[in-house]
Amino acid sequence: MDATTQQNVRTPAATVGPPLLVLALALASVLASVALLAVDRTRAHVIGYVVGSVVPLLLVGFFRRVDLDRRRNPRYLISRVVRPALILITAAALVLAALHVWPIATDMAS
Domain boundaries, the chain: 16-109
Q: Classify residue 10 as left (phi > 0), alpha (psi -120 to 50) or beta.
A: beta
Per residue of the chain (110 residues), give pLDDT as tens.
Answer: 555 555 555 556 788 999 999 999 999 999 999 999 999 999 999 999 999 999 999 999 999 999 999 999 999 999 999 999 999 999 999 999 999 999 999 999 98
* pTM of structure: 0.82
At residue 5, the pLDDT reads 52
CB 88 within 8 A of CB 23: no
